[in-house]
């Protein structure tokens, strides 16, 4: 498939999990991809090699999405050395789960910075390139817990709900520039993030899912690739739920 031929895509947190699957799928559909990561260098390199084998370009971009200065400098470097980013997937995220009563200020700050401030930092740096291109796709990865809540995740749910408001407002600001902004809210997806959950918690989650299984990172990637394509030209400011029926909007 060559739906995304000639496009340059930046995926944050693409060394593992959902971000990795998204980078792979966008490349499979023709895009050249910029793989952002923070610590997992070997994994990011492995992915880049796999993508290059498919005949697409893959660039490594190590930066901390929670650091405004680092983000701005790296995005400027990307613009100079690679070109204008046309597809941005804000995917990088972390959890630091604990009940509010026990939550330390640093648990709150770290999660809000990495999951929400990062979306502002990266998007702000990338948008001028999309305006120049007169075309852009921004896809922000939220979570079902932004809509349902989850005990132990006040920080994470707040950040993920913030992404929804941010995306809806931005979609209105940039619609006239032919830039769309949409949100994907995954449910329980099999990645390192969820493999850390205790078996008992996993079982409770699975029992609540009508399709009776966890989702796969690839399944989130297929939806992302669709939203990044010309086929999704008329969709903006929307939230897409992908959760096996757990929450239906
Ligand atoms: N898995 C789920 O069930 C689920 C459900 C709903 C939403 N989500 C959301 O989907 C996204 C991906 O989750 P996942 O399950 O794939 O997570 P994951 O397997 O833990 O991978 C997280 C990715 O984010 C990167 N990352 C973390 N902090 C970063 C930072 N400060 N700067 C740059 N990169 C950073 C990691 O890179 P390094 O390893 O290089 O640090 C890694 O590539 C997250 O936003 C998550 O909240 C996940």
Average pLDDT over residues 163-186: 99
Ligand 1 center from residue 131 Cα (angstroms):
28
Q: Is the CB of 17 under 6 A from ligand 1?
A: yes
Indicate which CATH number applies to the domain containing 54.
3.40.50.720
Domain of 91 in residue numbering reads as 8-242
201 lies in some domain: yes
Contact, 28 vs 52, CB < 8 A? no
Residue numbers annotated as active site = 156
Considering the chain, what is the average pLDDT of its residues?
A: 97
Q: Is the CB of 143 under 6 A from ligand 1?
A: yes
Ligand 1 center from residue 52 Cα (angstroms):
23
Probe ligand 1: pick from 13, 89, 163, 215, max atoms within 8 Å of CB? 13
Output the pLDDT for position 198. 86
2 lies in some domain: no
Output the pLDDT for position 197. 86
156 lies in some domain: yes
| Cβ neighbourhood burial of 93 (10 Å; 0-12, 13-18, 19+) | buried
- Using 50, 70 and 90 to split pLDDT, how confident is the model at 107? very high
* Interior angle at CA 170, CA 166 and CA 174, nearest 5: 170
248 lies in some domain: no
Contact, 139 vs 88, CB < 8 A? yes
Ligand 1 center from residue 76 Cα (angstroms):
23
- Using 50, 70 and 90 to split pLDDT, how confident is the model at 216? very high
Output the pLDDT for position 176. 98
Give dist(CA 22, CA 226) in Å, integer: 11
247 lies in some domain: no
Ligand 1 atom nearest residue 64's Cα: 32
Contact, 240 vs 223, CB < 8 A? yes
DSSP state letter for 5: T
155 lies in some domain: yes
Output the pLDDT for position 207. 95
Query: In the chain, how many domains are there?
Result: 1
Residue 11: how many CB atoms within 10 A of its CB? 34
Residue 2 has pLDDT above 90, yes or no: no
Give dist(CA 11, CA 32) in Å, integer: 11
Output the pLDDT for position 50. 98
Ligand 1 atom nearest residue 39's Cα: 40
88 lies in some domain: yes
The SS3 assignment for 211 reads: coil
Average pLDDT over residues 37-52: 98
How confident is the model over 182-213, as pLDDT tens digits? 999 999 999 999 998 889 888 988 999 999 99
Average pLDDT over residues 215-238: 98
Residue 241 has pLDDT above 90, yes or no: yes
| Cβ neighbourhood burial of 98 (10 Å; 0-12, 13-18, 19+) | middle
Average pLDDT over residues 121-131: 98
pLDDT over 70, % of the chain: 100
Probe ligand 1: pick from 16, 139, 164, max atoms within 8 Å of CB? 16
Q: Is the CB of 15 under 6 A from ligand 1?
A: yes
Output the pLDDT for position 196. 86
Ligand 1 center from residue 13 Cα (angstroms):
6
Task: Record the pTM.
Answer: 0.98
Q: Is the CB of 136 under 6 A from ligand 1?
A: no
Average pLDDT over residues 123-133: 98
From start to end of the chain, where are the E strands? 8-11, 32-37, 58-62, 87-90, 136-141, 179-186, 239-242
Average pLDDT over residues 37-47: 98
1 lies in some domain: no
Ligand 1 center from residue 153 Cα (angstroms):
15
């Amino acid at each position: 498939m060559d739906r995304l031929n000639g496009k340059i895509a930046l995926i944050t947190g693409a060394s593992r999990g959902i971000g990795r699957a998204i980078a792979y799928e966008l490349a499979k559909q023709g895009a050249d991809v910029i793989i952002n990561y923070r610590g997992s260098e070997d994994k990011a390199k492995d992915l880049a090699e796999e993508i290059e084998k498919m005949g697409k370009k893959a660039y490594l971009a190590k930066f901390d999405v929670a650091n405004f200065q680092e983000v701005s400098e790296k995005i400027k470097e990307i613009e100079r050395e690679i070109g204008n980013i046309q597809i941005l997937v804000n995917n990088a995220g972390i959890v630091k789960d604990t009940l509010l009563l026990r939550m330390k200020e640093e648990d709150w700050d770290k999660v809000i910075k990495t999951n929400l401030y990062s979306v502002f930092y990266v998007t702000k740096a990338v948008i001028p390139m999309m305006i120049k291109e007169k075309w852009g796709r921004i896809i922000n990865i939220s979570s079902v817990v932004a809509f349902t809540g989850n005990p132990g995740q006040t920080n994470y749910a707040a950040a993920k709900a913030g992404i929804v408001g941010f995306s809806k407002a931005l979609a209105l600001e940039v619609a006239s520039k032919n830039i769309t902004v949409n949100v994907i809210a995954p449910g329980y997806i099999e990645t390192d993030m969820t493999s850390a959950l205790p078996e008992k918690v996993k079982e409770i989650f699975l029992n609540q899912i009508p399709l009776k299984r966890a989702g796969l990172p690839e399944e989130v990637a297929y939806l992302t690739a669709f939203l990044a394509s010309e086929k999704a030209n008329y969709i903006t400011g929307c939230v897409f739920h992908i959760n096996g029926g757990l929450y239906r909007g």
